[in-house]
């Protein structure tokens, strides 16, 4: 499919004003396709030619101003409009469109639990063409109205409140006109949804999910509405512009490729966020964060939209920052920034240290087309960008920051804006040189490293200077800690002064603090190091630091030192063993255990040291379980149980848990834990296909189908591996979710000899798959499908040879480049290269 270049988008925007889309969708034409009829009213400013985009199964008819167009002139996804005259025009396009099984366009899903079918759209970036004809670029905003025909008994949802029209047997629904929207924000969903409704601030609010998840949604509905109302009210406290749409629906939809999508009036979420099994408070926080993030988009993204995809960070970084801040301000998740620091921020640090790093705000012209734009939806555009905005708030102050944001909304309401517009609004509100700040923070790549030097002045005062690798200005807090006289294993905060880096040294009276912690409170984006005395204190008393966010900053420093080859992976495990059993903040427990299990044990340690690492993790988890028997820390306990399952090498305890239906002392086994245990038993060769079949019969849900696929692919059996391989790379029958589950089961560190022959097959197979099945599968195949357990130079050599060719699609090339960069880092850590 031809991608849209920035030059083409600019030319079309200069030629056209698009006024209104009238869309008619008929969803009653069978399981393979639906009928789409679109009428677009637009104005040409001058004589010229252009094109509309549509990607049909069959293009049935097209007409411009009532005159038929030659449907055979459709060139892939482009319908030529060669000779427009100045003035108003009407384009009408009728087509049969294919349903998707990969979460792109109009996705169709049949629930294995009850046989009910659900449809929803995901039109981000350039997938609107799979549903209706459009001038598909973000700066050609227009109004939208629609009529949808669905099977009787279904409910239709959209950007505005849909109402049935005509006899119920006809299944016709009308959606009134929207405010001006970019094409990628249009959304539809149809099916026998289970719905919970309420009203707030004079607007209808609703939650929707498939019927088989109804009991789980009902159990959480009060909490979900409470989060929604609190965030909604907080946004109205800080933004002058009121919520600009007529309703707020949140639909939890099956097999969704992203966390969520900010469609105005109809936010769609992956329905794993309707928890079928026990969830930690961190997982509930992350769900709430996703909700707050998408709500922030109603203003930054939907009300004011980027002109072109080089400013996607304006959408995502802003929503990321505001999501965490609003949760902190308005909900029970007062320690929201701790999860950001130890969890989300690591995504940004890792992305920013790969060869594919890019500025938060790419240089003009860097995002040359829609294919390139997709590559920048990463930890830099989200986590690093949010970190940069947090640092901007620390520099400007929240009052001036919000004044600038409100000025931006007022000046570009229902329009489009770019980085220059954003900077101009902030500069107008604050009187500061925001452009210089942006040049340092948004136009550069990489992570600064800050190293403290603590000494003594001639008059006996302590003195702190900071060595900086990098050039960004930082405004941060410095935590000064001493042992608690009543309990030396605990630390107390002496002071937390603010430092400017680069800037003058900090000094203070008395002996030097036992621990000097740069970036205490995590206000800036940088790797920090500890001076020798502070490192000794941290090793001795890390778990005795009072604030979880301060502990997270130190855990991040330890992680970064491992990744940079300055600290042995075994030393991280020793620190984990000593301090994590005392941790009560689940975000910290989860972040540390995840890094130790998935990176240290699986990637950074030589294969012969892996069993010892797993034993250390098991001992740590057992200690966590002993310390949480009183029920006061259910989150860390559940996290420890999960990691213990994943780290077990003796199947006997897992079989005992399955027979008992519970972990000793709790929790009881729910479907999530049962499938996790079964997956580990499959890896260890301690279960059989019949056991997997029985588990699926007991849980025939979509999640159960994924669990069974993961388990079957994990069996240490040559026939099972070959069956899984063919399902992944030859049959093309798997949905994106079942593909990912199968790939997750396939490659196992315990099965190196069994999977090694597939390494040579992987690169040509994944290249062909990405070309054949599109971006969603390319991303999954380059990530979950990558042979991660094969940490050796041959895996690297074969990957580099693949990238040297021209065959990988852009999405696959990016994924493989990142995975190979991670592999180089793992080899360097393992072998000191």
Q: State how far the Cα of 103 lies from the Cα of 220, in Å rounded to an integer.
A: 25
User: CA 367, 91, 130, 416: dihedral to nearest 10 degrees?
Assistant: 40
Helix, coil or strand: residue 282: helix
Length of the chain: 833
74-81 contacts, C-beta under 8 A, 24 or more apart? 75/2, 76/1, 76/2, 77/1, 77/2, 77/53, 77/129, 78/2, 78/51, 78/52, 78/53, 79/51, 79/52, 79/53, 79/54, 79/133, 80/49, 80/51, 81/49, 81/50, 81/51, 81/52
Helix, coil or strand: residue 155: strand
Residues β-bridged to residue 188: 158
Cβ burial of 669 (10 Å; 0-12, 13-18, 19+) is buried
Structure tokens that stand for 744 in this block: 């997750």
If we measure between CA atoms, which residue out of 181, 219, 184, 193 comes closest to residue 118?
193
Structure tokens that stand for 763 in this block: 């690169």
Q: State how far the Cα of 367 lies from the Cα of 359, in Å rounded to an integer.
A: 11
Q: Verify whether residue 294 is a known catalytic residue.
A: yes
Q: State how far the Cα of 811 lies from the Cα of 797, in Å rounded to an integer.
A: 20
If we measure between CA atoms, which residue out of 681, 629, 626 comes closest to residue 659?
681
Residue 140 makes CB contacts below 8 A (sequence gap 6+) with 12, 13, 16, 18, 182, 183
Distances (CA, A) of 81 to 329, 588, 661: 51, 57, 65
Q: How many CB atoms lie within 10 A of CB 809?
A: 18
Q: How many CB atoms lie within 10 A of CB 722?
A: 12
Beta strands in 605-682 (DSSP E): none
- Provide φ and ψ at 461, rounded to 5°: -90, 150
Q: State how far the Cα of 487 lies from the Cα of 723, in Å rounded to an integer.
A: 59
Helix, coil or strand: residue 284: helix
Report how far Cα 310 is from the mean position of its chain's Cα atoms: 19
Structure tokens that stand for 562 in this block: 């491992």
Q: State how far the Cα of 620 lies from the Cα of 623, in Å rounded to an integer.
A: 5
Structure tokens that stand for 211 in this block: 């019927």
CB distance 371 to 335 below 8 Å: no
Q: H or E stretch including 549?
A: helix 548-563
Of residues 94, 294, 316, 706, which has the active-site annotation?
294
Helix, coil or strand: residue 201: coil
Q: In sequence order, what DSSP letters do the residues of 333-383 get, joined into one string?
A: -TTHHHHIIIIIHHHHHHHHTSTT---SSPPTTSS-BHHHHGGG-STIIII
Q: In sequence order, what DSSP letters do the residues of 740-779 get, joined into one string?
A: HHHHHHH--GGGHHHHGGGHHHHHHHHHHHHHHH-HHHHH
Distances (CA, A) of 535 to 518, 555, 556: 12, 12, 13
If we measure between CA atoms, which residue out of 112, 143, 139, 296 comes closest to residue 213?
112
Cβ burial of 419 (10 Å; 0-12, 13-18, 19+) is buried
Cis peptide before 667 (omega within 30 of 0): yes
Which residues participate in catalysis according to the annotation? 294
């Amino acid at each position: 499919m031809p991608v849209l270049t920035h030059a083409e988008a600019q030319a079309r925007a200069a030629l056209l004003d698009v006024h209104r889309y009238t869309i008619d969708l008929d969803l009653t034409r069978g399981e393979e396709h639906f009928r789409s009829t679109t009428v677009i009213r637009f104005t040409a400013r001058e004589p010229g030619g252009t094109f509309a985009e549509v990607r049909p199964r069959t293009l049935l008819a097209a007409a411009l101003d009532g005159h038929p167009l030659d449907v055979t002139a459709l060139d892939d996804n482009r319908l030529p409009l060669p000779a427009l005259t100045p003035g108003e025009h009407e384009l009408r396009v009728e087509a049969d469109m294919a349903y998707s099984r990969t979460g792109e366009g109009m996705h169709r899903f049949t629930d294995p639990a009850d046989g009910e079918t659900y449809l929803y759209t995901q039109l981000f970036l350039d997938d609107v063409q799979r549903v209706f004809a459009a001038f598909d670029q973000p700066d050609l905003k227009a109004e939208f109205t629609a009529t949808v025909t669905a099977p009787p008994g279904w409910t239709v949802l959209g950007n505005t409140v849909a109402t049935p029209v005509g006899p119920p047997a006809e299944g016709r629904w009308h959606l009134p006109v929207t405010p001006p929207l970019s094409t990628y924000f249009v959304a539809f969903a149809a099916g026998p949804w289970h719905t919970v409704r309420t009203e707030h601030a004079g607007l209808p609010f609703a939650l929707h999910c498939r019927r088989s998840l109804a009991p789980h949604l009902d159990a959480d509905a009060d909490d979900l509405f409470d989060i929604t109302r609190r965030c909604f009210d907080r946004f109205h406290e800080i933004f002058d512009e009121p919520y600009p749409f007529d309703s707020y629906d949140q639909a939890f939809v099956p097999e969704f490729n992203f966390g969520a999508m900010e469609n105005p009036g109809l936010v769609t979420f992956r329905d794993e966020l309707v928890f079928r099994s026990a969830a930690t408070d961190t997982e509930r926080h992350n769900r709430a964060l996703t909700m707050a993030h998408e709500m922030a988009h109603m203003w930054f993204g939907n009300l004011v939209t980027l002109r072109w995809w080089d400013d996607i960070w304006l959408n995502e970084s802003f929503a990321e920052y505001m999501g965490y801040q609003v949760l902190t301000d308005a909900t029970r998740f007062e320690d929201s920034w701790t999860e950001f620091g130890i969890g989300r921020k690591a995504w940004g640090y890792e992305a920013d240290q790969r060869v594919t790093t890019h500025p938060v705000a790419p240089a003009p012209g860097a995002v040359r087309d829609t294919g390139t734009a997709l590559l920048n939806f990463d930890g830099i555009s989200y986590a690093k960008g949010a970190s940069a905005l947090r640092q901007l708030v620390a520099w400007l102050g929240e009052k001036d920051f919000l004044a600038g944001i409100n000025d931006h909304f007022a000046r570009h309401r229902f329009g489009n804006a770019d980085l220059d517009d954003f900077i101009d609004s902030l500069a107008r509100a604050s009187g500061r040189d925001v452009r210089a700040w942006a040049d340092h923070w948004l136009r550069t790549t990489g992570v600064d490293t800050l190293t403290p030097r603590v000494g003594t002045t001639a008059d006996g005062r302590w003195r702190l200077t900071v060595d900086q690798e990098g050039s960004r200005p930082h405004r941060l807090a410095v935590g000064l800690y001493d042992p608690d006289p009543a309990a030396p294993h605990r630390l107390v905060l002496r002071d937390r002064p603010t430092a400017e880096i680069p800037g003058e040294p900090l000094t203070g009276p008395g002996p030097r603090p036992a621990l000097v912690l740069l970036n205490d409170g995590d206000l800036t984006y940088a790797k920090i190091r500890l001076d020798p005395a502070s490192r000794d204190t941290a090793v001795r008393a890390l778990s005795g630091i009072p604030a979880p966010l301060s502990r997270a900053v130190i855990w991040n420093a330890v992680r970064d030192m491992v990744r940079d080859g300055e600290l042995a992976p075994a030393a991280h495990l020793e620190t984990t063993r000593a301090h994590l059993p005392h941790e009560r903040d689940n975000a910290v427990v989860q972040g540390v255990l995840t890094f130790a299990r998935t990176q240290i044990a699986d990637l950074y340690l030589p294969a012969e040291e892996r069993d010892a690492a797993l034993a250390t993790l098991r001992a740590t988890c057992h200690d966590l379980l002993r310390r949480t028997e009183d029920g006061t820390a259910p989150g860390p306990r559940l996290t420890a149980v999960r990691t213990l399952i994943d780290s077990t090498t003796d199947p006997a305890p897992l079989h005992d848990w399955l027979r008992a239906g519970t972990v000793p002392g709790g929790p009881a086994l729910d479907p999530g834990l049962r499938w996790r245990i079964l997956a580990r038993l499959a890896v260890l060769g301690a279960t059989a296909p019949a056991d997997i079949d029985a588990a699926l019969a007991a849980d025939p849900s979509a999640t159960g189908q994924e669990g069974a696929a993961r388990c079957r692919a994990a069996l240490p059996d040559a026939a099972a591996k070959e069956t899984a391989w063919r399902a992944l790379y030859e049959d093309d029958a798997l949905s994106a979710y079942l593909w990912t589950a199968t790939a997750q089961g396939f490659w196992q560190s315990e099965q190196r000899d069994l999977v090694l022959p597939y390494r040579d097959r992987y690169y040509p197979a994944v290249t062909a798959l990405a070309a054949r099945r599109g971006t969603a599968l390319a991303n999954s195949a380059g990530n979950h499908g990558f042979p991660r357990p094969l940490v050796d130079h041959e895996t690297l050599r074969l990957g580099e040879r693949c990238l040297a060719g021209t065959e990988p699609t852009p999405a696959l090339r990016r994924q493989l480049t990142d995975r190979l960069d991670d592999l180089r880092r793992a080899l360097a850590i393992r072998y000191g290269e």
